[in-house]
Structure 1
Amino acid sequence: MDDLLEEFLTETSESLETVDSELVKFEQNPNDEETLNNIFRLVHTIKGTCGFLDLPRLEALAHAGETLLGKYRDKALVPNSDTVGLILESIDQLKVILNHLGSSQSEPEGDDAEMIAQLVAASEGKMEKAEEPAPAAEKEVKAEEPVAKETPAADGDNGYDEDLDRPLRPGEVSLADLERAFMEADGPDLEQLAAEAEQVKIAEEKKKKEEAEKAAAKPSVEVSLVSQSIRVNVDVLEDLMTMVSELVLTRNQLLQMVRHMGDTEIKVPLQRLSSVTAELQDGVMKTRMQPIGSAWKKLPRIVRDSAKAVGKKIELHMEGESTELDRQVLELIRDPLTHMVRNSCDHGLEPTDIRVAANKPEAGQINLRAFHEGGHIVIEIADDGAGLPTSKIKRKAIENGTITEAQAESMTENELHRLIFAAGLSTAKEVTSLSGRGVGMDVVRNNIEQIGGTIDLVSIGGEGTTFTIKIPLTLAIVSALIVEAANSRFAIPQLSVLELVRTTKDGEHRVEEIHNTRVLRLRDTLLPLIDLADILQIPQGEKSSDNAFVVVMIVGDQRFGVVVDNVFDTEEIVVKPLAKVLSGIAAFSGNTILGDGTVIMIVDPNGIAKSVNLTKETERSMDNAQTATGPIVEQTAMLLFKAGGIEPKAVPLSLVTRLEEIDTSTIENVDGEQLVQYRGGLMPLVQIGGFAPLEENERQPVLVFTDRGRSVGLVVDEIVDIVEEVLNIEKSASTPGIIGAAVLKGKATEVIDVGHYLTTAYHDWFETANSEAQTDAVQKKRILLVDDNAFFRNMVAPLLAAAGYEVTAVGSAAEAWKLNETGIAFDVIVSDIEMPDETGVAFATKLAKDERWSDIPRLALSAMGQNDLDRMGATDAFTDIVRKADRESLISTIDYVLQTQGEAA
């Protein structure tokens, strides 16, 4: 194909896509002159280029559309839905001709006379006059009738016209009679015409001068813009990506070799090569990235046409069009997005009369939003319609045999909603041109899962439905965890990996069995387990789960554990497509070559998730197992260390800002204090049991506590471990700086009082904080802290006081109700969830109904997982929930709810 023609086809196709979406935007806001000027400029450019390339059919059609747009621009016509629709039809016809031109390098046979005639009629205002005939037009026709009547045929002969040299046809007027009629008619005022012509001439000269001035100013800008970008063939980028992929593989092989060689001369150059390869990889990946808005361009037109087809008013709002993702992924999500938007138009949004009756705006809203989240891109498609019809889905699924009646009764509303992803399931009353055949959402899900993505939905009756799609940014090079199962290695995409766990028989992370299903007790939840070798049906000998590696994975909102024999390391891998013979295996998404040259399979997280497939009975048993253990105990992450003796000591990990090692030779003594230069300032050092000389030129571990720009370093002898256990202060202490003792990791451990060491370093720590907070608020806000654990009361209360709040701390809900009876008022109530006499949830539920305290924000302190919180009803009972011992989150949440309450007031 000729290069000039190829460039024309590319640019014109892009321009027509822009015109398509801009016309829909202009139809909704006819007063937007900027949009209209942009449309006119694009169509004018297309027409001019067609004339230059001698493409008469395209030129004629574009010219007719340009003429109508010109009338809009000159305010000679008011745009309406019919005329804009006519221009859109002409754009569609231009696309058809372009497609033929691209395949055959010539315009198709035929013409567009009918469409051009409609465009010309519209530009002359005849479409509008046909709808509302103007009286003036009728008068003009009547004034012309006498002229036709005064035109007789020839006197007694056959009506022969000498000038034409033939007989006149019926109704035809001779040239002589026509000339006489013109001569007898009143002529125009020549002086007036001359004056008008002069004015037109002056206006045209002025316009030409302005355009020339604009043109003179443009070139430098345009030249600079042209120099910033070039058009590159996609095949070139694909070849470049392939070569970079091979370079990454070679880099991995070299790194693998050096690991076994130890320190060598090539280690430093190889590190540089690795760095350059990574930068080159990032650069090439950026060339493949495209804004998702390019996949959304057709959606405004689709929504417009769909709205007209179903007789609804629909508005489309798009956010995050500039969010970028890999071109390959972009191409694969175009069709699923289109289908889902059409579904929202047809099924999701109610007809106008029903919306009005429900006190909703006439126009239904479809909101499209895209944003980055980690290594994924998240796309949300939301509508404010009636929501999914749960009962219809349930009935249809039973009729289709998708589920049984017994299964339907045990399913939650959200689980029933997800049945729309089953093949052949549709609740539409009739099949329309848009949807209703039940062959869409299952295909949408399959297409998204094929690219390693997930799709989920939330639907609320009367409020609408939101679909959430989560897909990887790229499919070419990904970071993967290399694991081993049954003496074979596999790659698991790291985007789906939450954490790695080593199971032990009697430890915190242990494997249990419920209804013949293995589960992992991980902190406060039970996770279903599946063996990777079992999924892949690889024979293996007997082995125990008491000491195994578990890869905790997440797919959508489903969490589960995959048992593997060994875990190696993470590696950037080049994804290669599966051979056809393996394409039917759901557990694999591709293959790759490791640094040592071994070819391994890439595990598909979606395929693994389907293999888990827990039954309802097992899930209920898991819930019962969690409930049967009694009240869920809250665990706290504690840092174990040794300092000032051999006895282990502990501090809540959330209070520690950083773990550092300092060179003792850098410690300076000023005014009896030990100081060290730290992050551009001086940090005082404190020790447990008073100051003791430190050995010179040694590395000393230090726990750093930071608040409001000031830091304190607690010198320790050794960092022992980090554990998550139930913290129960069983013995209080009289020693300053020690709150009490608790059993951690099977040993009696002293828990230190952080507040004591803060005030040791800065005597005015809390006073300064209070005065700073007092300047921000005229009056202190009062907080009620309810927690049966004395340790947490003693730890949290000073932190809140340091933040400028007036704190009242009590040990039970009963004590809180006594304060309620006295009539005392608080601004925020902070409560523990697990308390012996009355739980925090029960306490908060009563608070919501109490006359005195019902309007007070209620915050919960908890270390539980979201599933347990939902099951207990904590999410509904409290205004917000904060993780226990997370001081920064607690203070920021209190500030937020107080600010929100103030704005509401």
Structure 2
Amino acid sequence: MDMNQYLSMFIDESNDHLQALNENMMSLEASPEDLSIVQVIFRSAHTLKGMAATMGFEDLASLTHQMENVLDLVRNEKLAMQDFIFDTLFKSLDALESMVQDITGGGDGKADVGAIVASLQAIVRGENPSAQGSAPAANAAAAAPSEGRALLDEFQLSVLKQSVQEGHQVLFIEVTLRSDCQLRAVRAYMVFELLERYGEVVKSFPSVQDIEQEKFEFSFSLYYITQKTAEEIQSMILGVSEVDTVTSVALDQESLEQVGQPAVAAAAEAPAPSAQAAHPEAPKAASAQTSAVPKEEAKKAPAKTGGTPSRTIRVDIDRLDVLMNLLSELLIDRVRLEQLASDTQSTELTETVEHLSRVSGDLQNIVMKLRMVPVDTVFNRFPRMVRDLAKSLDKKVDLVITGAETELDRTVVDEIGDPLVHLLRNALDHGVEPIADRIASGKSETGTIHLRAFHSGNHVFIEIQDDGAGISRERVLKSALKKGVVTADQAASMSDSEVHQLLFAAGFSTAEVISDISGRGVGLDVVKAKITSLGGNVTIYSTQGKGTNFSVQLPLTLSIIAAMLVRIGTEKYAIPLSSIVETGIIKRAQIRNVHGSKMVEFRGSHIPLLSLGTIFAVPDYDESTEDETEIVVIRKGDKLAALTVSDFIGQNEIVIKNLGKYLPEVQGISGGTILGDGQVALIVDPNAFIK
């Protein structure tokens, strides 16, 4: 059977299961006694193992199988969850994610996960892998797979034990051939022939007969007696052509005792308290550095992942883009028909066009909703990131997520992930203080970061708020003066909000020590640039000693927007309504010249006045003859400007069209749209004028 046709489905479903595993592991860390969450995790891992085995990704399937062994003991109450078990399972999830990413990139999904497998098997035996790191016997036993252990009978086991007593080396060897190997049986024979020169093969898995008949995938394992060291044997086998990897581990008497009994039986004999004894300082409730899921949400988590049948289908985003383009053409024709019906004064045509308008309006809403996805597709990956980062920084942090069901256009969601990662890392590193500093300032030792999303008009706001030390005006200005971002005179007259905006300057950082988390001055300027390119903006609110709030404002969609159509000379332009504060008419006498720039009074302050006709060199445009002129006041953040236009046409919903690769990037123009009469109107980018 050709499995390639199912590959994309496998990748999508694997990513879904890995995301569910991460989320439920975080929930379990918050409530380690809740066995219902363990059942959900076990089912996800079991499904993932089955899918991987079916597709032929053996490494992925075998690692998931080892995770299952641990989870099986936990759900049967033979093992209590501990910090080191959580850490090992999270490392396993990271390895699984990297394998799936490798498969997505066209690889074979193979990875060296021997250390993780050894840790998982040590946990099954009731040991603490971190405490046993220096014991070669434990590592040796862990390296032998459970399948291999069960294959040794009493006679073979006694032969191996006697060999150890007589001073021989007893090795467990695992050989993996390259995935493009054509003659697997021949290569396996060459390995066996090489080994028999320097010792004796006691048992192989699969059996020698199966290997000769090529009844194995690309790997086999064996128990071997020799006088040579594990390293020497390993290097010799690697010399055989088309051998990919070799694992060779020396076994001693203690390891062989454990090899002789099934893994689960060994774990059942080792009661849960032994795990506690191996890690006495770990509290029973598995006190983690980060509780990323609120307790009330943690209780709901298993129900959310329950067995309700899915009523969704996967649709390629490119197909939705095609659907959006076809809809935009339909909207253009609809406006054209409305104009024709108005001109012809035909009652039947008018009624038909009105019905068409209602249907196409409903269709537009449905298509827009098809493109909308909840921001939890981005938010879901943050609890795990915050947990790991808090541990590396030796801080205690609660991440509280609200509004994850808020919906955004798919294109915006795809782009917003990286900026939010930067802002969260910034809140963890710079915002939340170390535990000692928090206690000294009278705060609880656990910091809180709120990640919230909510709708407001035609925008979605995403806020990242911490209860840390806040932004120090003095530190920011000191760093800005040192880097030459501002002068001393400018610094003295700057407001707090202007000082906060300095954090977005390129190369700016207040960190005194460069680490792998921050300090290189790369981050917030990238965040600002990315959010601005999405048509949004970011604002900082901070109170020293209380905390900081980064508020990101984003448009609901990047495809269809509400805009004000204006006429300049003989040309038509569209200005997004989201950037317009108000429209008005001013007399020429109200225009002031300040240092060579035109200014106009607006609500008690003076703002710049820009002539769009002059900037775009519009033909047949002459505003000098008019006593009055129409203006559009636009906003970007807290900055305002006024644009002069010839006339207002009205408000309309327009479909944004790319200008294409043949036209150079025009300053002040973000795209174009086709109007009902077939004319093209350019869409003004207000951010460019205020910048």
Query: TM (normalized to structure 2)?
Result: 0.71
Deviation at 1:483, TM superposition (A): 1.0
In our comparison, the structure showing a higher alpha carbon Rg is 1
Any conservation in 2 of the 1:86–1:119 contact (CA below 8 Å)? Answer: yes
Are the counterparts in 2 of residues 350 and 385 from structure 1 also a CA contact under 8 Å?
yes
Conserved 8 A contact 1:27-1:80:
no
- Assess, with a 3 A threshold, how the Cα gap between structure 1 residues 450 and 120 changes in structure 2: closer, same or farther: same
Is 1:38 the counterpart of 2:40 in the alignment?
yes
1:104 alignment partner, SS class: coil
Tell me if 1:558 matches 2:642: no
For structure 1, which segment, 358-367 or 600-609, has the greater mean C-alpha deviation from structure 2 after superposition? 600-609
CA contact (8 A) 2:73 2:79 kept: yes
Asked if the contact 1:535–1:608 (Cα under 8 Å) also holds between the matched residues in 2, the reply is: no
Q: Which residue of 2 aligns with 1:2?
A: 4
- Residue 537 of structure 1 and its aligned partner are, at CA, apart by 5.5
SS at match of 2:63: helix
Match of 1:575 among 637, 656, 659: 656
**Which of 578, 581, 601 is the aligned partner of 1:498?**
581
- Alignment of structure 1 residues 698-717 onto 2, 5 Å: none
Secondary structure in 2 aligned to 1:115? helix
Match for residue 49 of structure 1 among 44, 48, 51: 51
Deviations 1:111-164 (A, max 9, x none): 53322111111232211793899xxx9xxxxxxxxxxxxxxxxxxxxxxx9x96
1:600 equivalenced with 2:600 (yes/no): no
Q: Is 512-521 or 18-27 further displaced after alignment? A: 512-521
- Alignment-derived partner of residue 130 in structure 1: 131
**Cα deviation code 1:434-492 (max 9, x no counterpart):** 22211211111111111111111111111111111111111111121111224322111
The amino acid that maps onto 1:62 is T
Q: Kindly tell me: are residues 492 and 168 of structure 1, through their superposed partners in 2, closer, same or farther at Cα, counting changes over 3 Å? A: closer
Looking at structure 1, the residues matched to 637 and 422 of structure 2 have their Cα atoms a distance apart, in angstroms, of 21
Distance 1:605 1:75 in 2: 62
Paired position in structure 2 for 1:763: none
TM-score, scaled relative to structure 1: 0.55
1:479 corresponds to: 562
Q: Distance in 1 between matches of 2:106 and 2:133?
A: 45
CA contact (8 A) 1:18 1:297 kept: no
Shift of 1:374: 0.5
Structure 1 residues 516 and 105, CA gap change in structure 2 (3 angstroms): closer
What is the aligned partner in structure 1 of residue 613 from structure 2? 533
CA deviation after TM superposition for structure 1 residue 3, in Å: 3.3
Residues 363 and 106 (structure 1), Cα distance of their counterparts in 2 relative to 1, 3 Å cut: same
Tell whether 2:676 aligns with 1:590: no
SS at match of 2:322: helix
1:85 aligns with 2:87: yes
Q: Following superposition of structure 1 onto structure 2, how do residues 367-386 of structure 1 map, counting pairs within 5 Å?
A: 367-386=450-469
Distance across 1 between alignment mates of 2:163 and 2:416? 67
Per the alignment, residue 255 of structure 2 pairs with none
CA distance in 1, matches of 2:164, 2:526: 66
Equivalent pair of 1:452/1:605 in contact (CA under 8 Å): no
1:268 aligns with 2:351: yes
Which residue matches 2:65? 63
Cα separation, 2, equivalents of 1:437 and 1:36: 41
CA contact (8 A) 1:503 1:545 kept: no
Instruction: Give 1:26's aligned residue.
Output: 28
Give the unaligned 5+ runs of structure 2: 139-155, 169-267, 269-305
Deviations 1:821-856 (A, max 9, x none): xxxxxxxxxxxxxxxxxxxxxxxxxxxxxxxxxxxx
**How far apart, CA to CA, are the structure 2 residues paired with 1:491 and 1:552?**
14
Q: 1:463 to 1:586 in 2, by over 3 A?
A: farther
Give the letter for the 2:474 counterpart. Answer: S
SS in 1 for 2:641: strand
Are 2:227 and 1:225 equivalent residues in the alignment? no
> Alpha carbons of 1:113 and 1:461: their partners in 2 closer, same or farther (altered >3 Å)?
same
Q: Is the 8 A contact 1:290 1:326 kept in 2?
A: yes
Counterpart contact for 1:366–1:383, Cα < 8 Å? yes
From the superposition, tell whether residues 21 and 431 of structure 1 become closer, same or farther in structure 2 (CA, over 3 Å): farther
SS of match in other structure, 2:357: helix
Match of 1:112 in 2: 113
**Amino acid aligned to 1:447:** K
Contact persistence 1:512–1:520 (CA under 8 A) = yes
Is the CA contact 2:342–2:350 (under 8 Å) kept in the aligned structure 1?
no
Q: Deviations over 1:722-756 (max 9, x none)?
A: xxxxxxxxxxxxxxxxxxxxxxxxxxxxxxxxxxx
CA contact (8 A) 1:481 1:493 kept: yes
Report the CA distance between 1:538 and its aligned residue. Answer: 5.1
Shift of 1:75: 3.1
- C-alpha deviation, 1:493, in angstroms: 0.9
1:14 aligns with 2:97: no
Query: What is the identity percentage for the equivalent residue pairs of Structure 1 and Structure 2?
Result: 36
1:100 is aligned with what amino acid? D
Q: For 1:164 and 1:371, how far apart are their aligned partners in 2?
A: 69
| Partners of 2:463 and 2:130 in 1: CA distance | 44
SS state at 1:249 partner: helix
Note if contact 1:64-1:116 (Cα within 8 Å) is conserved in structure 2: yes
Residues 241 and 524 (structure 1), Cα distance of their counterparts in 2 relative to 1, 3 Å cut: same
Output the CA distance in 1 between the equivalents of 2:69 and 2:161: 39
Count of residues in Structure 1 that have an aligned counterpart in Structure 2: 533
Q: Is 1:349–1:384's contact at 8 Å kept on the other side of the alignment?
A: yes
Q: Structure 2 residue aligned with 1:399, among 465, 482, 485? A: 482
In 2, Cα distance between equivalents of 1:25 and 1:443: 32
User: Which one-letter code corresponds to 2:81 in the other structure?
Assistant: P
> Cα RMSD over matched residues?
3.1
What pairs up with 1:653-664 in 2 under 5 angstroms? none
1:168 to 1:269, Cα distance in 2 relative to 1, 3 A: closer
1:307 paired with 2:309, answer no
The correspondence of residues 433-472 of structure 1 with structure 2, limited to 5 A, is: 433-472=516-555
Q: Which has the higher contact order (CA 8 A, sep 6+)?
A: 2
Give CA deviations for 1:253-282 in whole Å, capped at 9, x if unaligned: 223444444555422211111111111111
Deviations 1:23-49 (A, max 9, x none): 233223323444333222211211222
Residue 526 of structure 1: CA displacement? 4.7
Letter aligned with residue 516 of structure 2: S
Structure 1 77/270 Cα, relative in aligned 2: closer, same or farther at 3 Å? same
Q: Is the 2:564–2:652 Cα contact (8 Å) retained in structure 1? A: yes
Q: Find the aligned partners of 1:285 and 1:422 in 2 and give their Cα distance.
A: 35
Query: Residue 241 in 1 paired to residue 324 in 2?
Result: yes
The CA distance in 2 between the partners of 1:403 and 1:276, in whole Å, is 56
SS in structure 2 at match of 1:127: coil
Ranges in structure 1 where 5+ consecutive residues have no aligned partner:
138-160, 174-195, 197-220, 611-905
Report the AA paired with residue 443 of structure 1. Answer: V
Amino acid at match of 2:114: A
User: Aligned-pair distance for 1:67?
Assistant: 1.8
